[in-house]
Every structure is written in structure tokens, then in C-alpha cells.
Amino acid sequence: MSEVLDRIRGALIGLRMPRALEALDHTLAQLERGQISAIEAIDELLSEEYSTRESRRIDVALRTAKLMPIKTLESFDFSFQPSLDRERIAALAQLDFIRRAEVVHFLGPPGTGKSHLATALGVAAVKAGRTVYRATLAELIEALSRAEREGRLSEKIRFYARAALLIADEIGYLPITRGGANLFFQLVNARYEKGAMILTSNHGFAEWGEVFGDPVVATALLDRLLHHAVVIQIEGASYRLRAHADLIPEHVRANARIAPPPPPKRRGRPPTLKNGAANH
């Protein structure tokens, strides 16, 4: 019996199954007392190892995806944002939009939960085994600009295009140069109908010409980003400032409604931007 146990331990070490090795003696004790069957003992050892490996995979993937700190749909306060359709968000969490390479837009004033929801969907995708990458728009453009200066732009765009889901957060929070807008267009164009995206913005689509500093680039972006799109509009107060609402001026509290976009007009192939610059 001891020789068999030694072989089992050796096999678990060779197979790099440390958690199963740790659980072996306890599982065998249960088996000897008749508390579990042989098949249940095997199941317990494999389940322990699988659970440990899956937790490690998810932790590494979440950090690689820049999804820390973790946000979940369970921790989102839907009661604070009654304008949100909870069932619609739950449907997005089924992740079919990733399979269909769709773009999800979360629009609303600052503090209304756009980034939380985007991150939570990213976390759900990671747990489902999908590759995800999250960054603010400013971070994406800064990385693309640096890669362009170093002659690695194509490589960097391929890196961002590989993820099954790319989350571009905080569109409209910081000014974008025309060159930066063109770089983002190239990235969006590389993912168009190939990979899903989630975008968050505190600006309506009608303002994107101003946000990106070029109405032609903004039109080309929206042509792609609204072709296969789900638009979630959040109308409400800032969750972060809920404890200080009495200190916020009335005109700020009464945030203007962010109008949903008109259906994009499709006329043949999407417009192209030559050499990374808009055609004027």
C-alpha cells in the first residue's frame, strides 16, 4: 500500500498537481472511513486541483486585462440608477455580444456607474475564458502614439486587436488631438466586425466631433462603432457624490439628457481614412 501511495504522490508531483497532493491524505482518510466512494475520492482530488488552477488563471488574467480592482454586477447598486434596465445588463453578461463582435456603449454623466458596468462585464468575460484588455482612451492613445514614434504601431494595434473584448474607458474626459483620434480610428478599424468592444463616455455621439477634434474622424469612428452596437444610456446622479448631493449646485445635479444616436446611414463600404489621416 505504501508503495502505491508513493507512486501516486510521485505522479501528482510530476503532473504538477500540488493542491491534489495536499488533499490526498485527507481524501484517503475519508475513503478508509467509508465516507466517500472511490469515484468520489478521485472527483474530490481533481476538483481541488481544478479549482486552484482556475482561481490562479482568473487572477492572472484579471491583472493582465487591467481589471483590478474587481467590479461585479452583483456589487452594482441598481436601485441608485433606476433608469437602467437590469435585465438588459444581465443579458449582456451572457456575453453573446462578444461572440457577435458587437460594440457596447455606456453613456451617462460622471459617476453613474459606466466604468463599473464595463469592468464587471470584462470580469465576467475573463471568468468565461475570454481574453480581455481594459484601458482608458487616453492610455490607449498614449500607448499607440509611443509605438508610432518607435516604429511599432502595427505591432501595437495587433496586440490590442487580439483580445476578444477591448474596453475603452472614459471617452471625452480628456482632450484628444487630431493625431490621437486618427490612431484610435486605426485601432477601431482593425477590430471592426472582428472583436467586441465596450466604450464608456460622458458625451453624446453628437459631441464626438468636438471630443476627437475632427468631425470627419468622429463620423468614421461612429460609422464602425454603431454598425453592430448596443447603446445603454444611464440617466442619474453620481454614485460617488451621493453623500454630498446637497453641496452640488442645482444646475450640475440636473444633468442634461445624453441623447441616443440616430441610426447610422450605411451606404456601401465604410468610409476609409488614408494614411491614418482623415479625408477632408
The predicted-structure confidence for 69-108, as pLDDT tens digits, reads as follows 999 999 999 988 888 999 999 999 999 999 999 999 999 9
Q: Residue 271 has what pLDDT?
A: 52
- Verify that 94 and 205 share a domain, yes or no: yes
- Verify that 115 and 253 share a domain, yes or no: yes
**pLDDT per residue rounded down to tens, the chain (280 residues):** 689 999 999 999 999 999 999 999 999 999 999 999 999 999 999 999 999 999 999 999 999 999 999 999 999 999 888 889 999 999 999 999 999 999 999 999 998 999 999 999 999 999 999 999 999 999 999 999 999 999 999 999 999 999 999 999 999 999 899 999 999 999 999 999 999 999 999 999 999 999 999 999 999 999 999 999 999 999 865 554 454 445 445 544 444 444 444 444 454 555 555 454 444 4
Question: What's the rounded Cα separation, in Å, for the pair 52 and 20?
Answer: 9
- Verify that 49 and 110 share a domain, yes or no: no
Q: Residue 84 has what pLDDT?
A: 92
- Verify that 47 and 163 share a domain, yes or no: no
Q: Residue 275 has what pLDDT?
A: 52
Q: Residue 80 has what pLDDT?
A: 87
Expressed as residue numbers, the domain containing 121 is 69-276
- Verify that 190 and 100 share a domain, yes or no: yes
- Verify that 47 and 113 share a domain, yes or no: no
Q: Residue 280 has what pLDDT?
A: 40
Task: Give the CATH number for residue 163.
Answer: 3.40.50.300
- Verify that 166 and 252 share a domain, yes or no: yes
- Verify that 52 and 110 share a domain, yes or no: no
- Verify that 128 and 58 share a domain, yes or no: no
pTM of the predicted protein model: 0.81
- Verify that 87 and 147 share a domain, yes or no: yes
